[in-house]
Structure 1
Amino acid sequence: MDASTTEPAADTTRAERFDRAPETALAWHREGKGAALATVVQTWGSAPRRVGSQLAISGDAEIEGSVSGGCVEGAVIVEALEAMEEGASRELEFGVSDDDAFAVGLACGGTIRVLVEPVGAALPEDMLAELCEIRAERTPAAYVVDLESGVRRIDRDGHADRFRMDRSGFEEDGRTFVAVHNPPLRLVVVGAVHIAQALVPMARIAGFDPVVIDPRETFGSAARFPGERILTDWPDDAVAEVGLDTRTALVLLTHDPKLDDPALMRALRSDCFYIGALGSTRTHAKRVERLAEAGFSEADIARIHGPVGLDIGASGPAEIAVSVLAQMVSVLRTVRS
């Protein structure tokens, strides 16, 4: 079958919808507008944006992103414009009282600290460009800044727990801030079946970018998966096109070894963080036999979660989808030896 792809009407990846502050700041700087990046470095109490959230501000007071959900953005913009003029970074602190919290959408009061870094001054252009290149490669990176010395660097390694937990924050010294830049989470589903129809929207709500693969065009149709990316090539070729990395989960739902096994074999040779395969215990035992005969080791095969999903007594496609999504998140966030 010839490769065919059904794409959403517009590019709706999480990375481009929600997390383009670094790229936008770099573009504004290179256009000569001036730019600064504001980053949430610490929070107390109720905070609408987590540590690591960013807001890009141009010299024309344009913005991209958010550090507070709107309640302190105006003050941050003013401070950022002044920081650009001075060519120096600033640490800001904002507090919202319990009495004022409801007006800005918070359940109770809270405090946030924000680091403002003018691009080309505090934050070197070449360093920001390197960070943007790493992000485009779908490679995890950590932007590390020592707030005492002003020394900055980019690490690709050495922050395994932070990468796994998507957790930016201060190191033990309280002055070295680590901003985690992870690629968007991605879910690749082989088999456009009823479970997939429930799983895909759930996964999108949970922050995954879904891709549906099924060479059977009757199953893998835009009518069944509106607005989603659908690949109708053979699964192993489609999986190779998408790519499987440390931020990707693969779920196999066809129940057909001819479709599942080729994609599964590619997955076992990849770094994807989760592999789940639908089927009974007996079906999985046969799957294990086939993979062993194909030369995969016991450790390789043990990466497969089969039968797929947590054992929650699920009944029906939607509940099975819940169990699969819960297992994916558990594997992603749980420390593994």
Structure 2
Amino acid sequence: MKLDLLAALNAARAARRPAVVVTALDSGEQRLVLEPAQDPLAAEIGRALASGRSGVVEDAAGRSVFLNVHVPPPRLVLTGAVHIAQTLGPLATALGYQVAVVDPRTAFATPERFPDVELRPEWPDVALPELALDPFTAFAALSHDPKIDDPALARALESGCFYVGALGSRRTHAARLDRLKAQGVPDAALQRIRAPIGLPIGASSPAEIAVSIMAEITAVLRRAELAS
């Protein structure tokens, strides 16, 4: 790999920006793709990025090319150091996510309850800018406290998180949407919030709800078809 291409790739990785190195197997010629929609292999690169897997494809001329996929490790940010988060955090960690829990309520946000995740006992307006949410971040609002969840949801939507979910009934969510709309969050962004959160698997316990949330996050990340 040429030094200028390697430098550009390292810069993209440092910025948590997805990148694909395309290598022609017959000639060894390489190019770095940062904007897949503008590349002749846009469809193939899009599928590779969605799966996170490298592999060989054919270009329009029938030549074999290798797509070397570089995607940032996914992150999961949770507001609310609640029972669901206690199961969801380790579950996400086991699936390769970097997990952070944000909750200013220090009685809940303790290292004893969350020993293996990044714990931020702060308000979202302090913690989230430092966490730098991005399109490879999933966000879930679990606190049931509008003072904590609402500003965090607004920032997650603004940051383009690939998944944004919120705990609560349909009635609770309707009131939440009214509050966020009054704060100036666009309707199109509000429609991205998945609520009630998680896949409809009949979950009842906090642990089962955590499983349903993680399953929904995985489906969205991998662009699986979800029933409406």
TM over 0.5: yes
* Structure-to-structure mapping, 1:117-196, within 5 angstroms: 123-158=1-36, 159-172=45-58, 173=62, 175-196=64-85
Tell me by how many angstroms 1:174 deviates.
5.4
Q: 1:228 to 1:335 in 2, by over 3 A?
A: closer
Alignment correspondent of 1:282: 171
Aligned partners of 2:24 and 2:63 also within 8 Å:
no
Q: In structure 2, how many angstroms separate the alpha carbons of the residues matched to 1:319 and 1:276?
A: 16
Unaligned runs of 5+ in 2: 37-44
Q: Which has the higher strand share?
A: 1
Larger-Rg structure? 1
Q: In structure 2, how many angstroms separate the alpha carbons of the residues matched to 1:273 and 1:308?
A: 14
Q: 1:335 to 1:201 in 2, by over 3 A?
A: closer
* Structure-to-structure mapping, 1:1-337, within 5 angstroms: 123-158=1-36, 159-172=45-58, 173=62, 175-334=64-223
Instruction: Tell me the amino acid that sits aligned with residue 172 of structure 2.
Output: T
Alignment correspondent of 1:43: none
Q: In structure 2, how many angstroms separate the alpha carbons of the residues matched to 1:156 and 1:335?
A: 23
Q: Deviations over 1:117-157 (max 9, x none)?
A: xxxxxx22332232122111110000111111211111112
Unaligned runs of 5+ in 1: 1-122
Q: Deviations over 1:61-85 (max 9, x none)?
A: xxxxxxxxxxxxxxxxxxxxxxxxx
User: How many residues are matched?
Assistant: 214
Q: Deviations over 1:37-71 (max 9, x none)?
A: xxxxxxxxxxxxxxxxxxxxxxxxxxxxxxxxxxx
Runs of 4+ in 1 over 6 A off after TM superposition: none
TM (norm. structure 1) is 0.61
Q: In structure 2, how many angstroms separate the alpha carbons of the residues matched to 1:185 and 1:192?
A: 20
Q: In structure 2, how many angstroms separate the alpha carbons of the residues matched to 1:164 and 1:232?
A: 33
Q: In structure 2, how many angstroms separate the alpha carbons of the residues matched to 1:216 and 1:170?
A: 50
* SS class of match (2:212): helix
